Amino acid sequence: MPQNRRSSLETTSRPPSRSQPGGNTSINVKMESANADVGTDTNNLFGKRSTTPYAPKNRRTPAHSVLTPLSPAEMERYRNYPGGVGTMLLRKRKREREMQRRPKRERKVGDVGLVVEHYNARPDVGVSQRQESPIIGLKSFNNWVKSVLITRFAHPALVESTGMLRGRVLDMGCGKGGDLTKWSKAKVREYVGVDIAAISVDQARLRHAQTRSGPRFAASFFPLDCYANRLRDGLPPGLLVRPFDVVSMQFCMHYAFESEEKARCMLDNVSAHLRSGGRFIGTIPNATQLLGHLDALPKDASELTFGNSVYKIRFETREQRPLFGFRYWFYLQDAVDDVPEYVVQWDNFVKLAAEYGLKLVYKEEFHQIFEEHHEHDEFGPLLQRMRVVDANGESHMDEDQWEAASVYMSANFLIIY
């Protein structure tokens, strides 16, 4: 995409235009206390330590329940967090204690456990800190692609819906709620977000509650593995009485292809709760690109690895290529820390989806989505508003980020009963 010179919006290649990172915002937590008995001398109070030991006789809480200062790592993690440092930290510590008390059989293991641990550990940073990301151009571009998909395919399905409770969206793999603003602009009336990472679900719930000027639609959030459990077994029955107009799965669908059983469970959850004529939209890794890079590696390569400064993909084998469970390890700077993912072989996916009444109506690579929409009356200006390009049409992505974008593709299915 990018070239080594400025170029207009009409050109698909452009150089990076990195805005200088803004100043860091820090949060200082200061605790002050003063215990003064009647008659205590001021110099003694502030100049000397009291000789009276702290030994309350009627303690109501255990000693370890007293708040402890934030560690440097915690200060960095929760810097700019809109929900309040203390509150979020207390919730985190409470969850950790609850996890320790849970039976071991409830904990995620294997690849699923690695994925959950990774996404739960990712901090939900504020807007200003997010702009400091070294791959902010790529992140903005991916968000622009999702905005195009939601506007083109999801919004019409929401508008065409009938009844008093029309405009329902099921977001399977909602993460930290990064698409809530997009759904608000699509005029959704009811949103249900589900994700396997419980901490991410809490952050999504908080993000919705603290929306600037207040939430514009009803929303509920649930921690659930949609690839191993039916929605009807994990969500309130009343929430599933009416079907959804749109089901969205962004950058998460490929995790279901660890096994055929999980892929079928995912598709069953989609089709069972999507109305006739409803839309199923999603983004997944581009198997053609992945396998093309794999095949291009030298025959005597000691490691089956490819990528650049932004992303790296490592396969374990290129001889065995099963339809399910074809694993690779994915790293994306400032986003994904070497977690296991699975190749979604496209023809197999389309055939499997058809068994659940899902008919493919659109499929395109991210680069081609840009080619198709960058001059559009609505989506062209949106590139600048979402900071994919600047006022001169110069891209905020460099060559490596643009190459990383080619890893993904989008899909839109129409359900037909």
Annotated binding residues for mRNA, written as ranges, equal: 142-143
Q: How far is CA 380 from CA 17, 147, 154, 191, in A?
A: 18, 12, 19, 28
Measured distance CA(320)–CA(161) in Å, rounded: 45
Structure tokens of 404?
């990383």
- Cβ 172 vs Cβ 269: under 8 Å: yes
CA angle 191, 96, 54 (to 5 degrees): 125
Per-residue exposure over 104-131, b if at least 16 CB sit within 10 Å of its own CB, e if not:
eeeebeebbebbbeebbebebbeeebee
Give the DSSP H or E segment for 252. none
- Cβ 306 vs Cβ 313: under 8 Å: yes
Backbone angles phi, psi at 127, to 5 degrees: -60, -45
Task: Render 208-261 in DSSP notation, one character per residue.
Answer: HHT-TT--SSEEEEEE--TTTS-GGGTS-GGGGSSPEEEEEEES-GGGGGGSHH
Structure tokens of 202?
């809490």
- Pick the closest to residue 249 from 113, 63, 412 (CA basis): 412
Measured distance CA(252)–CA(269) in Å, rounded: 14
**Which residue reads 């680069």 in tokens?**
367
List 167's β-bridge partners, or say none: none
- Cβ 148 vs Cβ 117: under 8 Å: no
H-assigned helices in 33-126: 42-47, 72-77, 85-101, 110-121
**Which residue reads 């997009």 in tokens?**
182
CA-based torsion, 241, 202, 87, 134: positive or negative? negative
Detail the residues annotated as belonging to a binding site.
Answer: 142-143, 146, 173, 195, 225, 250, 255
Task: Calculate the dihedral angle through the C-alpha atoms of 243, 248, 254, 260, rounding to the nearest 10 degrees.
Answer: 10
Detail the residues annotated as belonging to a binding site for S-adenosyl-L-methionine.
Answer: 146, 173, 195, 225, 250, 255
Q: How far is CA 197 from CA 6, 117, 118, in A?
A: 41, 8, 9
- Cβ 251 vs Cβ 283: under 8 Å: yes
